[in-house]
Amino acid sequence: MLITKNWCKRFLALACALVCVLALSVQSFAAVNVTNYTVSQLPENARNFLEAVTDNGIYQVNVCLDDQPDNVKDAWQTVMGSWLNDPDYYVFFSFGLSIFSVRAGPKSSFGPRAGVSGFHFFDGYYFSFHLYGDNSHELLHFSEASASKPLGLISADYYYRSANALFSDSKFSSVSGSYKIISDIDTLIINDDITPDEPDSSVPEVPVDPPKEPEVPAGNPEYVVYNTGLWLIFFRWVRRHIGNAVFVGFIVLAAVMGIYLILRIIKHYSRQ
């Protein structure tokens, strides 16, 4: 076969096309695969754990934490009180075959783990609760994520749909994994039994005085609390007694024109 210049060009074009196709194929294999499920498709234990509040996708779950150590309760209140609505943190809720899980941590510590598929937290907290039995709703396990003990998102779990935005984020297009989303839970309400701390009776309460009105000097009803200058005080006086800013503008324009005409008249008669 004679290798010509045109043959070389065709070969290079074909090779470039094959490389592009291979790159796209690898990218597609790395993409996260998401499958939607409804509440009716969840395992029976998860369905029983969920309580429907309304018929339009609002559910609630109840968890028991009041008998846990203070560090566990503090971590839970941090996640549910501070991190849940903070855009710098991720909080994931999921249902497994026998547990309800909450995973949370800063976005800066979240991402892929070398050599392992899926997503991981390298900082944050993990809570799991029994779904059924005598210990139903009680805490099963609590742990803190770290670089040496990262916290992964289990692909077998069914996740509340807020996680869908993360799984479809192009920033993580190189991450591989398959996850399940519960598509028909619009709102998930989490109730806990943590008793609020009682106020310390040994510390006397300091009465809070209501804010005082600024003192107005006697005989000056036009007193302005913030000193804004005589010019602004004049405009405020005009607006209160004449009208809004549009009318003030007309008054100022008329005054300028009137002064100008008076000066022209004076100048005209002074020449005679």
pLDDT of residue 14: 44
Q: Which residue has the higher pLDDT, 253 or 155?
A: 155
Q: Is the pLDDT of residue 10 over 70?
A: no
Q: What is the mean pLDDT of residues 161-166?
A: 80
Residue 120 covered by a domain: yes
Burial (CB count within 10 angstroms: exposed 0-12, middle 13-18, buried 19+), residue 242: exposed
Tally of domains in the chain: 2
- Domain that residue 128 falls in: 27-192
Kindly state whether residues 173 and 253 are assigned to the same domain: no
pLDDT band at 231 (very low <50, low <70, confident <90, very high): very low
Residue 64 covered by a domain: yes
Q: What is the mean pLDDT of residues 258-268?
A: 79
Decide if 158 contacts 35 (C-beta within 8 A).
no
pLDDT of residue 101: 93
Residue 16 covered by a domain: no
Q: What is the mean pLDDT of residues 207-216?
A: 53
Kindly state whether residues 102 and 161 are assigned to the same domain: yes
Kindly state whether residues 59 and 175 are assigned to the same domain: yes
pLDDT of residue 130: 93
Final residue belonging to a domain, choices 192, 218, 240: 192
CA 272 to chain CA mean position, Å: 79
Kindly state whether residues 188 and 238 are assigned to the same domain: no
